Amino acid sequence: MGVYLGIDTSNYRTSCALYDSVTGEVKSCRQLLPVKKGERGLRQSDAVFHHTKQLPALMEELFSDKPLLSGCAYSYAPREVEGSYMPCFLVGENVCRAVSAAVGLKPVRTSHQKGHVLAALYSCKKLGLLDSGEPFLAFHVSGGTTDMLLCRGDKEKVVSLTEAGHSDDLKAGQCIDRLGVRLGLDFPCGEELEELARKSGRDFKIRPSVKGLGCSLSGVENKCVQMLEKGESPEDTAKFCLDYICETISAMTKAGLEKYGEMPVIYAGGVMADKLIADKLSERFDAYFAAPEYSGDNAVGIALYAAMKGKEQ
């Protein structure tokens, strides 16, 4: 029991958080990495540089009340699968290990993806699913992943994540950001693209490219480019893009529930902060969404992981 630190240095946001296992309260500090206007991302070397600059100030803010730590955790990779690696996660690992050594703690590590799932469970008050022993589906939909995961509470792993379906090509967040940058929006483009889409009065009949439990999203980008070249408005094009992603996630969810049986569905990741998408999915499924501050990259789930692993010690 006590206060637990989580650090996440993912591609595009520096994050650190504290979780108080007594009160259940969290304190989170995070900052987007700077991306130049017109660019669709950062090289890993630039991401490492910006994390290295941003994390100390965020940690100073986080520890302004000088809490005593009971445990620490960091994200070491995007996903817990072989070959999943990005250099930017080394920044968080190094800082977490240094803090742990200074206060005499043994750090634990987990994946960025598991942090997203845990943060979503915390946000929508569904952490009890981990103790129930019952399975649930979780989606992690972002610029790097469009994954459907079969999940279950696990004493050793906190929560086990088994990939059930994924995108074979582009990820949902990539589709949104590529269209947004083309339209002159700031990266990451999700919020501004949703604002554009809300100005459209069009209804589109979507036939998503879903086979089995997986999907393909490359057609979204191609269709959006064609729409703009034909003179379609940015508002209608944005609406088509988000509608297509929504129908794709919906079809994957339906297929997953048909295969594994009815169960709760947790939607996590930055794309799932889009209310146009979330509202439609909520009408169709037993769906739960993280609040926007827990949808995008954050370290709250990593701090939760530290606390849950701390119970074993």
Those residues of the chain that have pLDDT short of 70 are 312-313
User: Given this model, what pLDDT does residue 312 score?
Assistant: 58
User: Given this model, what pLDDT does residue 243 score?
Assistant: 98
Alpha-carbon span 92 to 54, nearest angstrom = 11
Is 64 found in the same domain as 13? yes
Is 280 found in the same domain as 176? yes
**CATH number for the domain including 220?**
3.30.420.40
Q: What is the pTM of this model?
A: 0.96
**Residue 145 domain-assigned (yes or no):** no
**Residue 157 domain-assigned (yes or no):** no
Alpha-carbon span 75 to 114, nearest angstrom = 9
**Residue 225 domain-assigned (yes or no):** yes
User: Given this model, what pLDDT does residue 261 score?
Assistant: 98
Report how many domains make up the chain.
2
**Residue 38 domain-assigned (yes or no):** yes
**Residue 263 domain-assigned (yes or no):** yes
Q: Where do runs of H (alpha helix) occur along the chain?
A: 44-62, 89-103, 112-123, 129-132, 172-182, 190-197, 218-229, 234-260, 275-284, 292-295, 300-310
**Residue 255 domain-assigned (yes or no):** yes
User: Given this model, what pLDDT does residue 313 score?
Assistant: 53
Q: Residue 242: which of 285, 211, 273 has the closest Cα?
A: 273
Is 56 found in the same domain as 109? yes
Exposure of 49 by Cβ count < 10 A (0-12 exposed, 13-18 middle, 19+ buried)? middle
Is 193 found in the same domain as 303? no
Alpha-carbon span 167 to 186, nearest angstrom = 25
**Residue 116 domain-assigned (yes or no):** yes
Is 213 found in the same domain as 120? no
User: Given this model, what pLDDT does residue 192 score?
Assistant: 98
Is 92 found in the same domain as 25? yes
Is 304 found in the same domain as 196? no
Is 101 found in the same domain as 52? yes
Is 264 found in the same domain as 306? no
User: Given this model, what pLDDT does residue 255 score?
Assistant: 98
Q: Residue 303: which of 31, 7, 2, 1 has the closest Cα?
A: 7
Alpha-carbon span 182 to 204, nearest angstrom = 21
Structural domain range at position 306: 3-124+294-310
Is 94 found in the same domain as 191? no
Is 301 found in the same domain as 190? no
Is 170 found in the same domain as 282? yes
Q: Are 158 and 308 in contact (CB under 8 A)?
A: yes
**Residue 96 domain-assigned (yes or no):** yes
